[in-house]
């Protein structure tokens, strides 16, 4: 402490001496006084630096640790700060022609939780990066479809935000993940992964969805999407439809699906269609059922465009957490002079404790 006080007093003297203009010292002080002034300046300067070690010696030996850095793949500036109480919705708004409607304000939206209107705390419309899982059916029936499906998957990635992070997983009765990292933005790595697996075996879609949702939790971005491409009914999963739906509703991940069902038997195709429709509608995504493989690439481009043109709404629920499922509904109020608008988002969520 004495060292601190000496350094402090010397610092005050030095500041006073520096405050005396040089012209004043040359003009109004005699030469002998100027020499004295210079000697005093040197003494004070030395006193400050002699006290410096004592000052530093009284500081903590270890500085406080820096805040943790985001993952190496994390793009800066795109994440809403985590808040366990904040409910976040990704919302698509389209006109009667199926085109995205930009420029809406918070006053154009109404959010209802269990039929009770909520106050909107966040409104964002921007093309922000997404964490994406590509889940590709690799059962034996996909053998002659994989070349076009792989090309469509790569087109999807090319049409998406270049800062997106992506993983590719395959499934038949087993689940395969070939990347040596959680996600990548490298198109060459994705192409290699898509082409690596040989199609064979049965279809365990529900099991693959549950595992992919778990892997998506490792993604950095707030917005997470699972894109499924499959050509038939699940015939090998251990998980049930109700359990899988519950896992879907506990996440905030959007699910899109491309069902290649045109060659399936009618009853089997309808059951597969209903599963894909229920999963995608629950999450605010969409399901597509092309008549031929030639349509898949255009569909994947449309899905990429839909993901990049959405609103993010968030609110703090008026009701405390109680670990129950809560139904959600978003209504859009069209601006004056515009026609009817349609809105799509997830249908509910589980409120944790």
Which of 146, 139, 258 shows the shortest CA–CA distance to 201? 139
131-308: CATH number: 3.40.50.410
CA angle 135, 176, 305 (to 5 degrees): 20
**pLDDT tier for residue 317 given thresholds of 50, 70 and 90:** very high
**What integer pLDDT is reported at residue 353 of this predicted model?**
59
Task: Give residue-wise pLDDT tens across range 95-149.
Answer: 999 999 999 999 999 999 999 999 999 999 999 999 999 999 999 999 999 999 9
**What integer pLDDT is reported at residue 189 of this predicted model?**
92
pLDDT above 70 (res 14): no
**What integer pLDDT is reported at residue 198 of this predicted model?**
76
Mean pLDDT, residues 30-53: 44
Mean pLDDT, residues 214-243: 96
Q: Write out the two tokens for 146.
A: 């994989």
Half-sphere exposure at residue 147, Cβ-oriented, CA atoms within 13 angstroms: 2
User: Which residues are within 8 A (CB) of 331 and not within 5 positions of it... i.e. 6 or more apart?
Assistant: 109, 110, 112, 343
Q: Which tops the pLDDT comparison, 331 or 73?
A: 331
**What integer pLDDT is reported at residue 80 of this predicted model?**
53
SS3 state at 242: helix
**pLDDT tier for residue 338 given thresholds of 50, 70 and 90:** confident
**What integer pLDDT is reported at residue 53 of this predicted model?**
41
Lowest average pLDDT, out of 101-105, 128-132, 194-198, 273-277, goes to 194-198
pLDDT above 90 (res 152): yes
Q: State the chain's mean pLDDT as an integer.
A: 82
For the chain, give the percent of residues with pLDDT over 90. 68
Q: Write out the two tokens for 46.
A: 């030395």
Q: Where are the domains of the chain?
A: 2-57, 87-126+312-350, 131-308
Q: Which tops the pLDDT comparison, 80 or 228?
A: 228
Task: Give residue-wise pLDDT tens across range 233-271.
Answer: 999 999 999 999 999 999 999 999 999 999 999 999 999
pLDDT above 90 (res 77): no
Q: Write out the two tokens for 244.
A: 């899988």
pLDDT above 70 (res 64): no
Q: Which residues of 223-245 are buried (b: 16+ CB within 10 A; e: fewer)?
A: bbbbbbbbbbbbebbebeeeebb
**What integer pLDDT is reported at residue 74 of this predicted model?**
42
Q: Which strand ranges, in their side-by-side order, compose the sheet holding 109-113?
A: 116-118, 109-113, 325-332, 348-350
């Amino acid at each position: 402490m004495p060292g601190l006080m000496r350094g402090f007093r010397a610092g005050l003297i030095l500041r006073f001496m520096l405050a005396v203009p040089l012209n004043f010292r040359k003009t109004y002080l005699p030469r002998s006084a100027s020499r004295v002034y210079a000697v005093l300046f040197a003494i004070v300067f030395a006193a400050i630096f002699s006290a410096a070690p004592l000052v530093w010696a009284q500081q903590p030996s270890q500085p406080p640790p820096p805040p943790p850095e985001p993952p190496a793949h994390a793009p800066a500036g795109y994440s809403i700060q985590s808040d366990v109480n904040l409910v976040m919705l990704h919302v698509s708004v389209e006109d009667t022609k199926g085109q995205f409607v930009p420029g809406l304000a918070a006053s154009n939206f109404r959010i209802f939780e269990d039929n009770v209107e909520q106050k909107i705390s966040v409104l964002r419309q921007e093309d922000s990066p997404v964490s994406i899982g590509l889940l590709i059916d690799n059962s034996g029936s996909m053998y002659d479809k994989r070349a076009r499906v792989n090309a469509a998957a790569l087109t999807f990635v090319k049409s998406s935000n270049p800062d997106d992070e992506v993983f590719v997983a395959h499934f038949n009765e087993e689940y395969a993940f070939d990347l040596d990292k959680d996600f990548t933005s490298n198109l060459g790595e994705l192409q290699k992964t898509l082409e690596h697996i040989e199609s064979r075996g049965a279809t365990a879609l529900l099991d693959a969805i549950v595992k992919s949702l778990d892997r998506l939790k490792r993604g950095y971005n707030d917005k997470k999407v699972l894109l499924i491409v499959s050509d038939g009914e699940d015939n090998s999963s251990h998980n049930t439809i109700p359990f899988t739906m519950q896992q879907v509703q506990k996440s905030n991940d959007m699910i899109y699906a491309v069902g290649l069902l045109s060659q399936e038997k009618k009853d089997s195709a309808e059951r597969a269609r209903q599963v894909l429709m229920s999963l995608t509608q629950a999450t605010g995504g969409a399901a597509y059922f092309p008549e031929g493989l030639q349509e898949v690439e255009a569909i994947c481009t449309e899905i990429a465009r839909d993901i990049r043109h959405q609103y993010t709404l968030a609110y703090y629920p008026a009701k405390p957490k109680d670990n129950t499922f809560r139904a959600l509904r978003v209504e859009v109020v069209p601006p004056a002079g515009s026609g009817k608008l349609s809105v799509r988002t997830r249908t509910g969520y589980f409120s944790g404790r």
